[in-house]
Chain A
Amino acid sequence: MAARVVKVVRPAPTTKQWLPILIGLGVASAHFFRNLFGFIRGRQDFTVNFPEQRFVQPPAMRGMPVLVQMANGKERCVACGLCEWACPTSCITIFPAETAAEVERFPEVFDIDMARCMFCGLCEEACPEEAIVMSRQVEISSYSRRGSLWRKQDLLVPEAELKPRLDYLRAQYARK
């Protein structure tokens, strides 16, 4: 188990300067023809023709943060404020309020300024209620500054839709 120091091999100077050029041309031609006629053997292009084709992202993908919406239409969030405090860019604003229901606390205001959000995932990691998770959506441009402020209603996503992410998180953050 060791690290060896090895000197790099510099190609010797040669008079046959046309040979490497030919080899290089050969390599490029191989790529060219493979790309051109590869469809015959069912070869896939490396290029993904976005937006008609989409990338296949791994389960770990961190898109924009969203709020988990329970079956009864309410958010699971209890406005504990941990995500707001953990966020390095302070893009979350929460004002808690009281409910008469058994779960007595809910966020009256839950805003995320997507212009500041850097999709780092610390909010998801800090949440003790599985209430905020990173979705797979990253296309969130808007025509105005105001459009980058997402309010609670904009952020709610039904739990069923977020199930893959929730399952991934449970596996990711599980400890013995």
Chain B
Amino acid sequence: MKIVKVTVDGRTLEAPEGTPLLQVMLDAGMDIPHYCYHPKLSIEGSCRFCQVRIEGIPKLQISCNTPVRDGMVVKSDDPEVHLVRRGVVELLLLNHPLDCPICDKAGECWLQNYAMRFGNREGHTIDPRRKRGKRLDIGDRMLLDQERCILCRRCVRFCNEVSKTGELHVFELGEHSKLDIYDDQRLDNDYSMNTADICPVGALETKDFHHKIRVWFLQETATVCPTCANGCNAMLSVYKNRIWRMTPRRNDEVNETWLCDWGRLNIGYPTDSGRLRVPIVDGAAATWNQALDRATQALTDFTQQHGAALGAVVSPHLTNEENFRFGELLKALQVKQVAMAVQRWKPDDLLIKAEKAANARGVRELKLVSGADDGLEQLLGAIESGAIKGLYLCGDDLLKVTPPDRLEGIFSKLELLIVQSLTNDPRYAHAKVIFPTTTFAEKEGTFTNHAGRVQRITKALDTPAGWIGDGELFTHLLNAVTASGETYSIANVWDRMSSDGAAFAAVQFDNIGPHGVPLAAAGK
């Protein structure tokens, strides 16, 4: 690919030949306004907003559909360019409804932002604005406001090219153009909520976020979606210790700029009222200290009485660091039978992967489990035969993949059951201790996605005071069992993880960065 040089406003930029000029300017940090251009969609050229002056061409050119050639000289700070920008804004605002007070996009609306910077101050509309449909229910998760639409057709291209479902179309022509769905198909594909992200205005809105909160209150944290093994990069929007929405982060290796709808909707559970918030000891709520003491005592009693007859189920939802510490705990407890239960759902060929957990591969890379089904059948069989009499169960997936009567049979056979879970499910009634587990939003750590990419998650929510995270919990138990004084921190766990000669040997935590690093090829 030939690299060419172009000069924009006196700056020399380099790019592969054929890249759209607009992309080159955006990559250089220039703030060129545009609507219809999107780096992951086909080029449209309908908004006419990105026009710049190119030397040698008499009329202004749209930079999105101008491939760069060597020696191109571009001026974006030109009086005619300013005039054109003002004109585009004025014509868009001509028919735009006065919806800002009730529109969710206010605060991140491209029309507001560009109108402020490039537009006319005064409105001169005389004729009444055109009327179209408002708050149209076009899908299970989507709403359309045809009046706000500026006809950039990003959503149309998305449905045609990315989700390949083609639900949206701009009907009619010219003044009568309106965005709509066809009579026989609603906007219900698995990626429909992305259209609300890419819509520059508030025409397409998600029902999930509709009239929930103003975006200027939200604090954005970069993290990774916990729902499936793809590990799509995401941003959590948090306010008052609650997650209000999740939006995609760009990662060209993992999820481009998209998220599936199911991951987006799966963000309420950290603050759900049904979540377990206090440890349960022998069926009753207890303090953390009481629970830790009881668990330690139960484990030591069990080991004395039954020897090495303890099994464990690892959670594919905990981070690599927590699972590493769990592995150390299991080694100290001489646990031989370790398994992992992972719920599965139907994958597709875009983002959704079969495993409904973010870190299943991470567990396997740590060599905690082995076998085609991660040792689950072997463990369950061993419990049923009586070889394994105690179980340390992490995660709720076992409940979801095992038939209820088998599960009841297994639980009732156990002499000791310690659970670390999100909810106080009635099926855990046999458990001596139930610890509340933390969610992906409440800790720092890493997940390993299906392709072996190690990606960081960031803490966005606070847990209640006195709450002990899973890593520290395992560390407490480890210290009690081995009479040592370990602490849990990302730094000291990673030292061991990468020095163990294990799969994480090539990765340094500090080098992971916002887009993750692949396990195998890392810097060898």
A and B interact physically? yes
Give A22 to B50 CA distance when docked, in angstroms. Answer: 85
Contact indicator per residue, chain B 79-110, by CB within 8 Å of chain A (1) or not (0): 00000000000000000000011100010000
Within 8 A of A (CB), among B110-169: 134-135
With beta carbons under 8 angstroms apart, the residue of A85, A98, A128 that contacts B211 is A98
Size range of the chain B interface in the assembly: 10 to 19
Q: B214 and A104: CB pair below 8 A?
A: no
Within 8 A of A (CB), among B234-257: none
Q: B214 and A85: CB pair below 8 A?
A: yes
Q: Taking the nearest CB of chain B, how far is it from the CB of A5, in angstroms?
A: 45
Contact indicator per residue, chain B 358-395, by CB within 8 Å of chain A (1) or not (0): 00000000000000000000000000000000000000
Q: Taking the nearest CB of chain B, how far is it from the CB of A85, in angstroms?
A: 6
Give A73 to B406 CA distance when docked, in angstroms. Answer: 58
Give A1 to B418 CA distance when docked, in angstroms. Answer: 91
Give A51 to B216 CA distance when docked, in angstroms. Answer: 44
Give A175 to B205 CA distance when docked, in angstroms. Answer: 34
With beta carbons under 8 angstroms apart, the residue of B134, B135, B214 that contacts A81 is B214
With beta carbons under 8 angstroms apart, the residue of A80, A96, A97, A103 that contacts B100 is A80
Q: A95 and B213: CB pair below 8 A?
A: yes
Q: A80 and B211: CB pair below 8 A?
A: no
Q: B106 and A80: CB pair below 8 A?
A: yes
Q: Contacts A80-B106, A85-B216 hold; do A104 and B211 have CB atoms under 8 A apart? A: yes
Q: Which residues of A contact B211 (CB under 8 A)?
A: 79, 96-98, 104-105
Q: B214 and A128: CB pair below 8 A?
A: no
**A82 beta carbon closer than 8 Å to chain B:** yes
Q: B213 and A103: CB pair below 8 A?
A: no
**A45 beta carbon closer than 8 Å to chain B:** no
Give A95 to B211 CA distance when docked, in angstroms. Answer: 9
Q: Which residues of B contact A85 (CB under 8 A)?
A: 214, 216
**B212 beta carbon closer than 8 Å to chain A:** yes
Q: B216 and A104: CB pair below 8 A?
A: no
**A129 beta carbon closer than 8 Å to chain B:** yes
With beta carbons under 8 angstroms apart, the residue of A80, A95, A97, A98 that contacts B101 is A80
**A78 beta carbon closer than 8 Å to chain B:** yes
Q: Sort A-B residue pairs by CB-CB distance and give the 9 closest, nearest first.
A: A80-B101, A81-B214, A105-B102, A98-B211, A96-B211, A78-B101, A105-B211, A78-B102, A128-B101
**Selected A-B contacts with CB under 8 Å, 22 pairs:** A78-B101, A80-B100, A80-B101, A80-B102, A80-B106, A81-B217, A82-B101, A84-B214, A85-B214, A96-B211, A96-B213, A97-B211, A98-B210, A98-B211, A104-B102, A104-B134, A104-B135, A104-B211, A105-B101, A105-B102, A128-B101, A129-B101
Given A81-B216, A84-B214, A103-B102, output 16 extra A-B contacts at Cβ < 8 Å: A78-B102, A80-B100, A80-B101, A80-B106, A80-B214, A82-B101, A85-B214, A85-B216, A95-B213, A96-B211, A97-B211, A104-B134, A104-B135, A105-B101, A105-B102, A105-B211
